[in-house]
Structure 1
Amino acid sequence: MIRLLNMDIYCEYILHNKPPIIFIHGFVSSVYTFRRIIPLLSKHFSIIAIDLPGFGRSVKSISFIYTYENYGKLIAACIEHFQLEKAFLVGHSMGGQIALNTTKIVPERIDKLVLLSSSGYLDKAKRWQRYCSYLPFCEIAVNYVLNKKSVPDNLKNVFYDHSLISEDLIEEFGRPLKEKNFNKSMMRLLRYREGDLTSEQLKSIDKSILLIWGREDNVVPFHIGMKLKEDLPNSELIAYDKTGHLITEERAEAVSEQIFTFFRDS
């Protein structure tokens, strides 16, 4: 654990005399998302991967204001904690939006970004959703929605190749759902989520960005990647056929090679 913004944050890191990458996972996920690509990239880069507040093994805070901006400030605090002059960012799904927010907050500390199946263009929580988050029954409703489908069914939605779904994956992705205060933290995320960056905001980000997508992504469809490519002025887009949302599992070696090549050429 490390201490960031007065919270206990689970962190895995491999530090040596090589350029650092900070990995940022997505919604209802953890550093486990990157388990297959970190070993491949750790030969060439220092590695820092954290579980965001509310997820994985990090604190399920019932006081943290769960916004992308505050998550971005947390990543900025992580950069300070490890005394990094600059860092590369790799964000998956919601983690892509957090990486972009971090870049807006501390642009001088960010080198390049890789966005894997990044969320994009989602509106902020509706007024009635924010209002309902204060009502006593909301936690029950959140629990119902999160557990409406079984963990294997949810994993089928993020994989194109269902044969890759293992017992280890089911156990790891199911574990946080049972933790104390998980529902409360998700309720607060619903309450405070301010929405994804707009096209205008994206166009102001001049960092080199690599977008990597699965063409069969059922969570963040490929057309979102194409729109991000249009709005991010210094970006390129790579897509893989027969690949779903959890691209770090289905295309680990190819994704690692793309990240290595992109960051190596800095």
Structure 2
Amino acid sequence: MFGLLKYFLYLLLVLLACLAIFIYLNQAPDKSVAELSKRWAQPPSQFVNIAGMNIHLRDEGPKSDQEPIVLIHGTSASLHTWDGWADALKEQRRVIRFDLPGFGLTGPDPDNNYTIEHYADVVAAVLDELKIQNCVLAGNSLGGYVSWATAVRYPNRVSKLVLVDSSGYPFEPESIPLAFKLSQNPLTSVLLKNVLPKSLVARSVKNVYGNPDLVSDELIDRYYDLSLRRGNRDALKARFKQTLPGLLVNKINTIDVPTLILWGAKDRLIPPKYAIQFNRDIADSTLVVFDELGHVPHEEDPQSTVLAVKKFLATHPPSIKS
């Protein structure tokens, strides 16, 4: 009996030693906006005081465009996810993108409010600050949810929608990025507050790509660095608790603006059957599926996906709402 107890104590010490080594090797303290901005807020980035936050924003293209394109990123992403689209569109169109509250360099909401209604209100506040009456609103994943929720809550501000692997319906994922799972677990989320293996971030990003080989070291660096922005890890936990499918889902069928639905056939987080549901519920909508792409098709293959956007915009010229 004494020998067995001694064995278990030895095993416990070994496990504690391994845990201590793991924590030491993967320490990831918060980083300041000033530190992160050196790499991730180069021109044309700017910080604009909106809704009580210094929102990290990029505003490119001709300011004379009366129907700007506003791009909204998804969970744990940032405005950089739209680099390819912005480069392809900004010669002819005004393109605006910003880091949502709780993500990127914008950081936490001052009231810890991550409801979908509040996110829509922030979009409206950005439009107000930039003196934009209405826009083409495009979003991926959570950003898609924010986009169509804004169209529901502020119908006169949105003239067209582009939904890219959008959330909003209650959905059953086939696979969830490991970082998302751990951030929702009360025990592991405490650990991740000060410890974050870069390999965990890499695995999670590769999980949402149709072709994981396309995930570059620079891309992993970006997701990793911006997750360390002071307050973002706590905000992520709050976002998962607060931004859930709610009553607004019953109003999707009231959306009456031209809508383009883009989806990756290899999306295992929000499978393509939900694209069909959006297409069915939004009367004036067009669905385009990309066979080889995953949950972030605009980032994985910006050239192919933005061509669909350009075609959509060409067949639906600007219509300014009053």
TM category (shorter chain) comes to: 0.7 to 0.9
Are positions 1:52 and 2:100 aligned together? yes
Which residue identity lines up with residue 236 of structure 2 in the other structure? M
Distance (whole Å) between structure 1 residues aligned to residue 237 and residue 50 of structure 2: 22
The aligned counterpart of 2:262 is: 212
- State how far apart, in whole Å, the 1-side matches of 2:255 and 2:304 are: 26
Cα distance in 2 for partners of 1:148, 1:257 equals: 33
- Pick closer, same or farther for the CA change 1:197–1:149 going to 2, 3 Å: farther
Residue number in structure 2 paired with 1:254: 304
User: Which amino acid counterpart does residue 231 of structure 2 have in structure 1?
Assistant: N
One-letter amino acid matched to 1:207: V
CA displacement at 1:200 relative to structure 2: 2.8
Report deviation, 1:49: 0.3
Matched, 1:2 2:48: yes
**Matching residue of 1:153:** 203
After TM superposition, list the pairs within 5 Å mapping 1:125-164 onto structure 2.
139-140=189-190, 143=193, 150-164=200-214
Q: How many residues align?
A: 255
Q: Larger C-alpha radius of gyration, 1 or 2? A: 2
Correspondence 1:35 to 2:89: no
Q: In structure 2, what is the equivalent of residue 239 of structure 1?
A: 289
Could you give the per-residue CA deviations for residues 114-154 of structure 1, whole angstroms, max 9, x where no partner exists? 0011113138xxxxxxxxx9xx9685166599869712211
SS state of the match for residue 84, structure 2?
Answer: coil
Deviations 1:219-249 (Å, cap 9, x if unpaired)? 1111111111111122111001111112012
Task: Give the match for residue 128 of structure 1.
Answer: none
- 1:171 is aligned, of 207, 221, 233, to 221
Give the drift of 1:43: 1.4
Q: Contact conserved, 1:88 with 1:263, CA < 8 A, in 2? A: no
Which 5+ residue runs of structure 1 have no aligned equivalent?
124-132
* Inter-CA distance 121–71: structure 2 relative to 1 (3 Å threshold): same
Is contact 1:25-1:31 (8 Å) kept?
yes
Q: Does 1:83 align with 2:123?
A: no
More deviation, 9-18/94-103: 9-18
The one-letter code of the counterpart of 1:9 is I
After superposition, the Cα gap between the structure-2 partners of 1:237 and 1:197, relative to the gap in structure 1 and judged at 3 Å, is farther
Shift of residue 164, structure 1, vs aligned partner? 1.1
Shift in CA distance, 221/44, structure 1 to aligned 2, threshold 3 Å: same
> Where do 1:175-194 residues align within 5 Å?
175-194=225-244
In structure 1, how many angstroms separate the alpha carbons of the residues matched to 2:80 and 2:246? 24
Q: Is the 8 A contact 1:97 1:196 kept in 2?
A: no
Give the CA RMSD over aligned residues.
Answer: 2.4
Q: Output the CA distance in 2 between the equivalents of 1:207 and 1:141.
A: 45
Q: What's the secondary structure of 2:95's corresponding residue? A: strand
Report the CA distance shift for 1:45/1:66 in structure 2 as closer, same or farther (over 3 A): same
Identity %: 27
1:117 aligns with 2:131: no
- 1-structure distance, mates of 2:203, 2:246: 27
Equivalent residue, structure 1, for 2:141: 93
How far apart, CA to CA, are the structure 2 residues paired with 1:202 and 1:43? Answer: 32
Deviation for aligned residue 1:201 = 1.2
Aligned equivalents of 1:58, 1:26: Cα separation in 2: 14
Q: Deviations over 1:49-70 (max 9, x none)?
A: 0000110010223523111110
